[in-house]
Structure 1
Amino acid sequence: MKRPIGYYVHHHGAGHRRRAEAIAAQLGGRMTMLGTGLGDAGIDLPDDRIDAGFDGEDGTSLRPAALHYAPLRHDGVRQRAAIISGWIAREQPALMVVDVSVEVALLARLCATPTVYVRLFGSRDDAPHLEAFRSAEALLAPWPEIWEHESAPPDLRRRTSYFPGVTPAFAGPTRQFGRPTAVVVYGGGGGRLAAVEQAAEATPDLDWVVLGEIQGEPVRRPDNLRFAGWVPDAPAWIAGAEFVVAGAGDGAVADVAAARRPFLCIPEQRPYREQTDKARVLERAGAAVVVDRWPEPGSWPALRAHLASLDRDALRPLADPHGAAKAAAWIEAIADR
């Protein structure tokens, strides 16, 4: 019987879990997910985030140079380390895929377990990332090799395998709208809520649908604006849109790429410039129109024309329908050797 494969799933954003679930589906029960908020889907770990009830120290001044996050006297961190190392001791996995955490990667290595580390976009040339990369058997990048950052060192490129499409595309039917519709999956908190309302008022011939949670109470409520909340088939809504407004998170980009919809990308602030760098790559490839903030109401006619002129095939490199199967086969080959 083949030894199991572990997959650590970071809790921020949906892209990590979508990748893990897609790869797990290809491995026939061999892979176990570990992460916060997994419930019955895997090994559910206590939260390691600092909250109002935590009175220890975050370790900023004492943190070892090889770590990003090492708070002192935090029960959640202690319990997570114990659960992960206990699972490794019991199951003796052949491999641990880490998506993503420097600390989990180094913990697995301390537990005599080889790792595959998932590379994300952004400027990740700091000491902790470099140690996680150096300690791994191999590196997995969920984007096309042609989108590799020009400053990436040759050794990093040599050790990286590229799997665009590893975040699976939605395969269901497209949602049909009665009129041209813009779908917003960027969020509606703070000033963004007012900006969406102003955009709807400025484009009466266009319906607007906002997916996900919003913060604040709508004020203007124009007739062509709808807040749909969390929907289970968001990619179907994206596929039916005239254009999509979203950040540059892995899940949103994968859904837009699969649907080949015109993409207005407003990158959100993330550590290591992850979304900003990814958005610029999309822009250089002609796959998106990128702006730093919500457009002014008067700019929408020109923006719609610009979006309509995009070459939708520019998104094709991200939409490999076999990406998850290829990544799973590659991971299993590393585990078996």
Structure 2
Amino acid sequence: MRPIGYYCHHQGAGHWQRATLLADALDRPVTLIGTETGRSAHQRLALPDDRLDGFDGRDGEAGRPEAFHYVPLRVPAIRERMTRIAAWVAQADPVLMIVDVSVEVALFARLLSVPTLVVRLAGLRTDTPHLEAFRSAEALLAPFPAALDDTGMPEWVRAKTIHAGFLGLPAQAAAAEDGSILVIYGRGGEGGTLSDLVAAARAVPERAWHVLGPVSGEVTPAEAPPANLHLHGWVPEVGPFLGRASLVVGGGGDGVVAAVAARAKRFVCFPESRPFEEQTAKARRLSALGAAVVCEAWPTPHCWPEVVRDGLALDPGRIAALASPDAVAVTAARIAALADRLDRHRD
């Protein structure tokens, strides 16, 4: 059986998590391709890191062709990455390449005569490079429900898209909520600031605040963290904290939103800055659906009590309605059907 290649981008953890879940659900062999592929039972093709400092989605080259985002000149790691991908394609003869995400890899796979399934993230991605990558693909895969899609996307793009829903593990049975507030910082962002968290916890002293992920900065002895603020850093399992929380505060990344929706948690969303308004666009749709309270910036201390009240007043059924417990299985079945069709077409 011809394999599927799955390219994973190295910003944040969501690409790798999606790839692993889908690969586990597919009967075909899958090779995970990328710089930070982590642990997996699947075949892996490791690529050298080609990132430039301060990369914001574009390489800044004055003469960059309009079809690309990232083609800086004289970067040996890029040559090595593409060489390894081409060598793997020549050896493995994949039936399909899933690209999550890279315009350049999507178009390179097409140049290598490999059909692609291109992951389309949230946000208004109507620039030339994205549209050319979308045009080159057999189909597009959106890792969010159709209700969160940006209304400004062209109709032909939406029609070509498989809206997979949130691709995460189904929520396990959890303990009863204990009134706590859970703040989550993911791997793709800058993390939290200690002084902001101290001020927020002091502003709402009647609730325990649990913080997961990186926190930076210092405070004076007079601003020492109060007893209701608990900094846990990275934890192996977020589920127990989510299960007990009465309110979740976090960014608009796929992983956080999926976890909150799966557990029907009231959500205060702080969209982080991303290219193409990825998190901002998603947050706007969550707000329009009544599924989250959205704050464009970290509130001042005197605003926090109102933010918490508004968050606790949300109907958790609104965000729960966006989750589908069988999203991974259904999406894997659609990928398998696409691969089978491509195999038959080749014969």
Q: How does the TM-score come out when normalised to structure 1?
A: 0.92
What is the letter of the counterpart of residue 52 of structure 2?
I
Q: Is 1:45 matched up with 2:47? A: yes
- Within 1, Cα distance between the matches of 2:137 and 2:35? 23
Shift of residue 43 of structure 1?
A: 1.7
- Within 1, Cα distance between the matches of 2:249 and 2:39? 33
Give 2:265's aligned residue.
261
Give 1:182's aligned residue.
181
Give 1:243's aligned residue.
247
Give 1:55's aligned residue.
none
**Cα deviations by residue, 1:67-88 (Å, 9 ceiling, x for unpaired):** 1001111121111111111111
Shift of residue 329 of structure 1?
A: 0.9
Give 2:9's aligned residue.
10
Matches within 5 A, 1:279-294: 279-294=283-298
Shift of residue 50 of structure 1?
A: 1.5
Alpha-carbon contact 1:175-1:237 (below 8 Å) kept = no
**Cα deviations by residue, 1:148-201 (Å, 9 ceiling, x for unpaired):** 222222211211111113233343x53678x52111113796883211100111
Which one is further off, 188-197 or 20-29? Answer: 188-197
Which one is further off, 235-244 or 275-284? Answer: 235-244
Alpha carbon RMSD of aligned pairs, Å?
2.0
Give the % identical residues.
47
What SS does the aligned partner of 2:156 have? Answer: helix
**Cα deviations by residue, 1:82-115 (Å, 9 ceiling, x for unpaired):** 1111111100000001111000001111111000
Give 2:345's aligned residue.
none
What SS does the aligned partner of 2:72 have? Answer: coil
- Within 2, Cα distance between the matches of 1:124 and 1:241? 34
Shift of residue 63 of structure 1?
A: 1.3
Closer/same/farther in 2, CA of residues 234 and 62 from structure 1, 3 Å limit:
same
Give 2:30's aligned residue.
31
Shift of residue 19 of structure 1?
A: 1.1
What is the letter of the counterpart of residue 174 of structure 2?
T
What is the letter of the counterpart of residue 49 of structure 1?
R
Shift of residue 204 of structure 1?
A: 1.6
**Cα deviations by residue, 1:193-242 (Å, 9 ceiling, x for unpaired):** 21110011112211111101112235421111111010011132122111
What SS does the aligned partner of 1:302 have? Answer: helix
Residue correspondences, number: 329
What SS does the aligned partner of 1:242 have? Answer: strand
Which one is further off, 92-101 or 210-219? Answer: 210-219
Q: Is 1:105 matched up with 2:109? A: no
Gaps of 5+ in 1: 53-57
What is the letter of the counterpart of residue 23 of structure 2?
A
- Within 2, Cα distance between the matches of 1:39 and 1:228? 22
Alpha-carbon contact 1:19-1:168 (below 8 Å) kept = no
Alpha-carbon contact 2:166-2:254 (below 8 Å) kept = no
Alpha-carbon contact 1:93-1:113 (below 8 Å) kept = yes
Closer/same/farther in 2, CA of residues 230 and 190 from structure 1, 3 Å limit:
closer
- Within 1, Cα distance between the matches of 2:207 and 2:247? 11
What SS does the aligned partner of 1:227 have? Answer: strand
Matches within 5 A, 1:132-151: 132-151=133-152
What SS does the aligned partner of 2:5 have? Answer: strand
Closer/same/farther in 2, CA of residues 285 and 48 from structure 1, 3 Å limit:
same
What SS does the aligned partner of 1:325 have? Answer: helix
- Within 1, Cα distance between the matches of 2:253 and 2:263? 16
Closer/same/farther in 2, CA of residues 212 and 301 from structure 1, 3 Å limit:
same
- Within 1, Cα distance between the matches of 2:310 and 2:268? 10
Closer/same/farther in 2, CA of residues 83 and 191 from structure 1, 3 Å limit:
closer
Matches within 5 A, 1:36-75: 36-39=35-38, 41=40, 42-51=44-53, 60-75=61-76
- Within 2, Cα distance between the matches of 1:144 and 1:221? 39
Q: How does the TM-score come out when normalised to structure 2?
A: 0.90
Alpha-carbon contact 1:169-1:254 (below 8 Å) kept = no
- Within 1, Cα distance between the matches of 2:8 and 2:37? 9
What SS does the aligned partner of 1:328 have? Answer: helix
- Within 1, Cα distance between the matches of 2:73 and 2:217? 35
What is the letter of the counterpart of residue 140 of structure 1?
L
**Cα deviations by residue, 1:260-299 (Å, 9 ceiling, x for unpaired):** 1110100000000000000000000111000111112122
What is the letter of the counterpart of residue 227 of structure 2?
D
Q: Is 1:162 matched up with 2:135? A: no
